[in-house]
């Protein structure tokens, strides 16, 4: 029976990984920053509170660590984002020196200043990023040796606390604010597809390497946004700001929010603009060929219940 530790288990992706690993019949130990969870378990796995930047609790022996913990925000103090994503990753790996390490990274490690067109894994990390999130996730990849690194893009699905709320929060007065022209292609990653990749990486057949993880095929941004609105029963139309207008608006919004010391991000950030306005697609050939990854296509069916 495979013994698996999952960090970030009290979060969106980590919780989904825990539940799936338990269904596989594996012996799963769940770890997260929250002091407690309902019934002391996540999906049937016993839960241990563990702040990766604090004291290390007594830990069980595991064969594999699936590291889902970290900061996913593109807003906030850079030192906090860096600590969560770099120091936290380093501490998690050090706590289980003999275990296989599966690290959930992000497609934000690719160059944010130019389109990502069916990018292969060797095109990142790069030397420039628009914010601390991309830079910190790239640094986290660099501190790992002999790990399996997974790079999803725009993770969505049941329990989503980031992407879907942000899309719905951009609806105002019958319009869904977006950037570009709507015809740009994007690779999205359902949480179910990401979980599949995590379990494949945990059990083999490879012990290290970097893999893009997305849905089966890219989609057109406008099609995706309209599907979300339809599934949620929202009477709104996507409204696209030209990139030349959106970029200075994002800079102004970020400046104002920093001066006002706002904890919540503005609706328009340079990071969001960069991910919406141009193509962001990833090549998943390596994951298909080496991990045996068989992703489903992008679907928002059932999004009304997410």
The 10s digit of each residue's pLDDT in 168-221 is 988 998 999 999 999 999 999 999 999 999 999 999 889 999 999 999 999 999
Residue 266, pLDDT score: 82
Alpha carbon distance 256, 272 (integer Å): 17
Please give the average per-residue pLDDT across 70-99, as a whole number: 94
Question: Which of the residue ranges 8-17, 185-194, 267-276, 277-286 would you say has the lowest mean pLDDT?
Answer: 267-276
User: Quick check: helix, strand or coil at residue 46?
Assistant: strand
Of 177 and 261, the structure prediction assigns the larger pLDDT to: 177
Give the domain ranges of the chain: 3-159+188-216+280-305
| Beta pairing partners, 171 | 176
| Strand ranges for the chain from DSSP E | 3-7, 27-32, 41-42, 45-49, 64-67, 100-104, 116-119, 148-152, 155-156, 171-172, 175-179, 185-186, 189-190, 209-213, 219-220, 237-241, 280-282
Q: What is the pLDDT of residues 135-157, one digit of tens each?
A: 999 999 999 989 999 999 999 99
Q: How confident is the model at residue 106 (pLDDT cuts 50, 70, 90)?
A: very high
Class level of CATH domain 3-159+188-216+280-305: alpha beta
Is residue 264 pLDDT above 90, yes or no? Answer: no
Q: Report the pLDDT value the prediction gives residue 75, as an integer from 0 to 100.
A: 80
Contact yes or no for 215/189 (Cβ under 8 A): yes
Is the pLDDT reported for residue 303 higher than 90? yes
pLDDT at 76: 81
Please report the pLDDT score of residue 261 as a whole number: 81
Q: 119 by DSSP, 3-state: which?
A: strand
Say whether pLDDT at 263 is over 80: no
Query: C-alpha angle 70/73/74, rounded to 5°?
Result: 130
| CA gap 23, 31 in Å, rounded | 18
* pLDDT digits 0-9 by tens, 20-77: 999 999 999 999 999 999 999 999 999 999 999 999 999 999 999 999 999 988 888 8
Q: Longest C-alpha distance within the chain, in Å? A: 56
What tokens does 195 get?
Answer: 């979980």
> Which pLDDT belongs to residue 258?
85
**Residue 275 reports pLDDT greater than 90:** no
What pLDDT is stored for residue 253 in this prediction? 87
pLDDT confidence band for 83 (50 / 70 / 90):
very high
Does 243 score more than 80 pLDDT? Answer: yes
């Amino acid at each position: 029976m495979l013994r698996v530790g999952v960090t970030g288990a009290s979060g969106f992706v980590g919780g989904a990984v825990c539940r799936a690993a338990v269904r596989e019949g594996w012996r799963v130990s769940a770890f997260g920053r929250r002091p407690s969870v309902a019934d002391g378990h996540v999906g049937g796995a016993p839960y241990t509170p563990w702040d990766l930047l604090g004291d290390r609790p007594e830990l069980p022996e595991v064969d594999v660590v699936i590291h889902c913990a970290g900061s996913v925000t593109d807003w906030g103090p850079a030192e906090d984002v860096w600590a969560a994503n770099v120091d936290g990753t380093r501490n998690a790996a050090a706590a289980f020196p003999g275990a296989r390490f599966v690290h959930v990274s992000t497609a934000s490690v690719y160059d944010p200043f130019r389109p990502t067109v069916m990018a292969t894994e060797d095109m990142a990390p790069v030397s420039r990023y628009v914010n601390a999130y991309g830079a910190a996730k790239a640094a986290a990849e660099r501190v790992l040796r002999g790990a399996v690194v997974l790079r999803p893009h725009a993770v969505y699905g049941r329990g989503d606390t980031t992407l879907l709320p942000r899309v719905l929060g951009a609806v105002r007065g019958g319009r869904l604010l977006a950037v570009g022209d709507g015809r740009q292609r994007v690779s999205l990653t359902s949480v179910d597809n990401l979980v599949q990749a995590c379990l494949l990486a945990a059990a083999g057949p490879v012990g290290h390497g970097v893999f893009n993880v997305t849905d089966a095929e890219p989609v057109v941004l406008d099609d995706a946004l309209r599907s979300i609105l339809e599934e949620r029963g929202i009477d709104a139309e996507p409204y696209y700001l030209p990139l030349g207008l959106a970029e200075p608006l994002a800079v102004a919004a970020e400046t104002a929010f920093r001066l006002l010391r706002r904890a919540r991000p503005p609706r328009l950030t340079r990071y969001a603009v960069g991910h919406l306005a141009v193509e962001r697609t990833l090549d998943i050939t390596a994951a298909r060929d080496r991990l045996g990854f068989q992703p489903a296509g992008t679907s928002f069916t059932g999004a009304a219940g997410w």
